[in-house]
Amino acid sequence: MSLWTSAITPMVSAEAEGQEGEDEQNSALKRAKTAIQTDCRRRWQERWKRSKKGAHSRIIQPYLDPKVKKIHRSLKRHQSSLAIQLRTGKVGFRAFLFNRKVPDIKTPWCLACTGKKLETVQHVLLHCPTWVELREECLESGLKEGIRPSLKTLLSTERGCRAATRMVQRTGLLRQYDLCNIEENWQEPAEPEPESDNEERLRG
């Protein structure tokens, strides 16, 4: 063994040991990060279930799921904003505004109905007789055939949120959206047809 080899070998070994130690440290940090994230999600889910707040949101989404972000992936900004309000119940209908003690909102009742009917998301989207024809026209495209309309079936999908926001815009109840374009009936893109064996062979 040459003098140079004798001198460099310990340096290479030390460098390898240092790299190995760094890899172990990074691996330990990664495991710790994963454990923290898992514990946070667990506690978040438990808090979501126990909380006395957010009852409206839990009707639509009983369990927290990051996939909810997909609902907004192709919505326009005003549609996404309105969808969030409808999903949380924090929207400018009279029941919410009255509860927040907004001036000039003297009652929480729907002005379009006889009797005392709370003007809520559920009432406007599903029950108010004033919007029967509009409801049938707008919400039909938001549900798959045979699915009964409900807050959950409407507001838990992109397709349903599009239909619900279109209907609410057309009611004129939320004047802040008057200047936003109302989307025409939207058709969900068809799933691409699977390639045949011959097409796959040609592509290969």
What digits encode the pLDDT tens for the residues 23-72? 788 888 888 998 998 888 788 778 767 777 777 888 888 777 777 888 88
- 121-130 tens-digit pLDDT: 999 999 999 9
With 0.85 as the threshold, say if the pTM is over it. no
What is the model's pLDDT at position 52? 73
Q: Which residues pair with 109 in a beta bridge?
A: 118
> Which amino acid belongs to residue 91?
V
Q: Structure tokens of 177?
A: 């959206």
User: What percent of the chain clears pLDDT 90, i.e. is strictly above it?
Assistant: 40
Mean pLDDT of 82-103: 95
* Interior/surface letters 45-82, b for 16+ CB within 10 angstroms, e for the rest: eeebeeeeeeebbebbeeeeeeeeeebbeebeebbbbb
- What pLDDT, on the 0 to 100 scale, is given for residue 9? 58
Region 189-199 average pLDDT: 47
**Could you read off the pLDDT of 148-183 as tens digits, one per residue?**
889 999 999 999 999 999 999 999 999 999 888 887
| Whether residue 101 has pLDDT greater than 70 | yes
Other Cβ atoms within 10 Å of 32 Cβ, number: 10
User: For position 192, what pLDDT does the model report?
Assistant: 44
Q: What angle do CA 69, 92, 71 make, to 5 degrees?
A: 15
Q: Where are the domains of the chain?
A: 14-50, 57-177
At 118 the three-state DSSP class reads strand
Read off the pLDDT band of 134 (50, 70, 90): very high
- pLDDT of 18 reads 61
Rg for the chain, CA atoms, rounded: 28
Helix axes of 158-171 and 132-139: crossing angle, nearest 10 degrees: 150
Instruction: Quote the pLDDT of residue 68.
Output: 82
> Helical H runs in the chain?
3-50, 55-60, 77-88, 94-99, 121-122, 132-139, 151-155, 158-171, 197-203
